[in-house]
């Protein structure tokens, strides 16, 4: 190790300027409204989390001995090593005055155990803390393998790009060329390309991150933990996703939504093009090629000889998810690996070593959804990976683990961190660890500078009441349905509007019909709308009038803002559905 230089090779402070949102009014209004919807859903999630069982730290179960750190390195006990040791302890204990939350904007409960791995030419930090399970309270080695979850998607993407180089497919190909029956499950999906699957811009709903009762996510939401062990074919996973419509038009400007469904389809395309199983293809092209001796793809249940830790949903660890069936993730998340193997893979993946042509790496690293309000220049999705303030990686979450990985080519530095519960600070670990070492902004800095946060927290936002907008016609830009991921927008050329009058009357236009209604308001944004007489014209198939009127008739809260001269209104129901409106001068 070089004397006088920190082992992690400190970088210059990373610039992360506040983003200024350049917009045309129509685009700005649409994205501002989506920001309000996102904020509303986040607040509901926060309240729900507070109503759940109170979290506890692993020391509350296993005692202070669980806070002993196991090291697989020989670093000196200097300030930087102590900072990472302290962060490890924060991952497994409750916040306190001496150790405040790692993140204000994304607080996470403690996990039973965690690992931090940082590797650079100047040295290596490789340590674990906590317990392999809450029954034995036994410690575990940092070298213990862990389920990668969605970090698997990098391997899936790498194979797709290799196949493109070999002329066996093109990322511009329509997915319907390979999977016509599956694409036909959705109206409007015909234009989805392989590139859109890689970058999550297809609009396909996610069978896991869903509240629909027929999806896996919906079953877990309802507490159906028997579903953990159920086996699914890739075709079945895609089919249950089709219980929900497309979230947006494929490839729509500024739209992005994470979809495990899309990566299941990529696995199917790999099998169809190669004539081999997905597991065999990735094993040959990635694992064996790179000599990843401790990396395997799991067909269904991980064999005991892998030596995985126990896995839990969330603190206080009352739900053991160790029996999860990996068929439920397949090409979107069925790899088990170690931090050291991941370091080898990340360096190869993001250096282009897995490809023949430099243009392939450039295409893979192209930003998938420029203009998406949930990303910034310091944080965005590419095509099979995330850019994270100089680090290139992904992130992975199963029902019993959460991990984050990143490689900084300028420093040749790798960060890998994971925990054995599905909710942990390790999920944003590249930023937490990078910030502790002076390599990245903090996660909270990143979050504050996301465009939708910047917009929604602008100093010129003026809070209004219904009385302030009497006589103004508000045009609806979207409706959000509770219990689903769905945000519906009016079809081009259709009209959805409301006008509040001073006498308690209001006029509602719902596509091809006009509805008369009355309204009353109360304190803290309370509102009640009673729908009255309506015209009875039959609207087209693309109409969202039924959902729109249902939300208005059940609305219990109204939120009104004016920002930059643009009026934005959100009507919400008790169950969390909402309709958003805007009016520009």
* 456-508 tens-digit pLDDT: 666 667 889 999 999 999 999 888 887 654 678 888 789 999 999 999 999 99
**What is the residue-level pLDDT of the chain in tens, covering all 585 positions?**
233 333 333 222 222 222 222 223 344 444 444 444 444 444 444 334 334 578 999 999 999 999 999 999 999 999 999 999 999 999 999 998 888 899 988 899 999 999 999 999 989 999 999 999 999 999 999 999 999 999 999 999 999 999 999 999 999 999 999 999 999 999 999 999 999 999 999 999 999 988 899 999 999 989 999 999 999 999 999 999 999 999 999 999 999 999 999 999 999 999 999 999 999 999 999 999 999 999 999 999 999 999 999 999 999 999 999 999 999 999 999 999 999 999 999 999 999 999 999 999 999 999 999 999 899 999 999 999 999 999 999 999 999 999 999 999 999 999 999 999 999 999 999 999 999 999 999 999 999 888 877 766 666 678 899 999 999 999 998 888 876 546 788 887 899 999 999 999 999 999 999 999 999 999 989 999 999 999 999 998 889 999 999 999 999 999 888 876 778 899 999 888 889 898 855
pLDDT in tens, 347-405: 999 999 999 999 999 999 999 999 998 999 999 999 999 999 999 999 999 999 999 99
- Name the DSSP letter for residue 155: H
| DSSP per residue, 255-288 | -----HHHHHHHHHHHHHHHSS-HHHHHIIIIII
- Whole-prediction pTM: 0.78
Question: Percent of the chain scored above 70 by pLDDT?
Answer: 89
Strands in 87-132 per DSSP E? 113-120, 123-130
Strand-pair partners of 396: 403
Residue 492: CB atoms within 10 Å: 6
Taken in order of first residue, the domains within the chain and their CATH numbers are 145-454 (3.40.710.10), 462-583 (2.40.128.270)
| Contact assessment for residue 515 and residue 522, using Cβ atoms and an 8 Å cutoff | no
Q: Is 447 helix (H, G, I), strand (E, B) or coil?
A: helix
DSSP string, 66-97: GGPEEESS-----HHHHHHHHHHHHHHS---S
Residues 535 and 206: their CA atoms lie apart, in Å, by 37
Cβ neighbors of 137 (< 8 A, separation 6 or more) are 61, 62, 63, 65, 66, 131
Neighbour count for residue 299 (Cβ, 10 Å): 16
CA dihedral 210, 423, 448, 21 (to 10 degrees): -30
Q: What angle do CA 93, 151, 487 make, to 5 degrees?
A: 90
- What was the pLDDT predicted at 492? 78
Classified as helix, coil or strand, 510 is strand
pLDDT single digits (tens) 518-532: 999 999 899 999 999
């Amino acid at each position: 190790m070089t004397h006088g230089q920190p082992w992690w090779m400190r970088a210059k402070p990373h610039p992360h300027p506040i983003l200024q949102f350049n917009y045309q009014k129509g685009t700005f209004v649409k994205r501002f409204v989506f920001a309000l919807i996102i904020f509303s859903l986040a607040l509901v999630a926060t309240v729900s989390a507070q109503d759940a069982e109170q979290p506890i730290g692993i020391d509350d179960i296993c005692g202070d001995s669980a806070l002993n750190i196991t090291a697989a390195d020989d670093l000196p006990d200097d300030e930087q090593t102590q900072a990472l040791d302290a962060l490890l302890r924060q991952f497994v204990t409750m916040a306190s005055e001496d150790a405040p939350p790692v993140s204000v904007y994304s607080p996470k409960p403690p996990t039973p155990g965690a690992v931090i791995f940082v590797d650079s030419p100047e040295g290596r930090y490789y340590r674990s803390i906590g317990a392999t399970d809450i029954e034995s309270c036994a410690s575990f080695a940092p070298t213990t393998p862990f389920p990668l979850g969605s970090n698997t998607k990098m391997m899936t993407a790498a194979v797709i790009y290799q196949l493109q180089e070999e002329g066996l497919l093109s990322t511009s190909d329509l997915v319907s060329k390979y999977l016509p029956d599956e694409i036909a499950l959705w109206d409007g999906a015909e234009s989805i390309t392989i590139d859109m699957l890689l970058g999550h811009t297809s609009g396909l709903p996610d069978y896991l991150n869903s509240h629909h009762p027929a999806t896996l996510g919906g079953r877990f939401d309802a507490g159906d933990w028997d579903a953990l062990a159920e086996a699914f074919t890739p075709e079945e996973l895609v089919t249950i996703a089709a219980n929900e419509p497309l979230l947006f038009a494929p490839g729509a400007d500024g739209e992005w939504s994470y979809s495990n469904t899309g990566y299941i389809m990529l696995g199917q395309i790999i099998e169809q093009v190669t004539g081999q199983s997905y597991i065999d293809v990735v094993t040959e092209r990635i694992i064996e090629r790179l000599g990843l001796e401790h990396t395997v793809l799991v067909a269904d249940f991980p064999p005991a000889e892998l030596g995985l830790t126990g896995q839990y949903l969330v603190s206080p660890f009352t739900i053991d998810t160790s029996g999860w069936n990996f068929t439920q993730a397949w090409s979107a998340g069925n790899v088990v690996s170690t931090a050291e193997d991941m370091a080898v893979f990340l360096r190869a993946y993001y250096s282009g070593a897995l490809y023949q042509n430099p243009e392939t790496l450039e295409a893979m690293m192209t930003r998938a959804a420029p203009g998406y309000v949930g990303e910034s220049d310091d944080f965005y999705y590419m095509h099979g990976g995330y850019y994270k303030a100089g680090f290139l990686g992904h992130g992975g979450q199963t029902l019993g683990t959460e991990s984050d990985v990143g490689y900084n080519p300028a420093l040749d530095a790798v960060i890998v961190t994971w925990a054995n519960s599905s909710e942990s600070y390790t999920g944003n670990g590249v930023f937490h660890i990078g910030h502790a070492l002076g390599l990245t902004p903090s996660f909270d800095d990143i979050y504050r500078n996301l465009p939708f946060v910047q917009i929604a927290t602008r100093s010129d936002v003026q809070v209004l009441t219904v009385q302030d907008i009497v006589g103004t016609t508000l045009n609806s830009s979207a409706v959000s349905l509770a219990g689903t991921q769905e945000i519906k927008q009016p079809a081009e050329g259709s009209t959805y509007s409301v006008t509040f009058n001073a006498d308690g009357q209001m006029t509602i236009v719902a596509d091809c019909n006009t509805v008369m209604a009355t309204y009353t308001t109360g304190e803290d944004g309370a509102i009640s709308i009673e729908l009255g007489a309506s015209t009875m014209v039959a609207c087209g198939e693309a109409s969202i009038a039924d959902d729109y009127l249902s939300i208005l008739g059940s609305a219990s809260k109204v939120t009104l803002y004016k920002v930059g001269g643009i009026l934005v209104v959100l009507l919400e129901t008790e169950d969390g559905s909402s309709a958003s409106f805007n009016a520009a001068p």
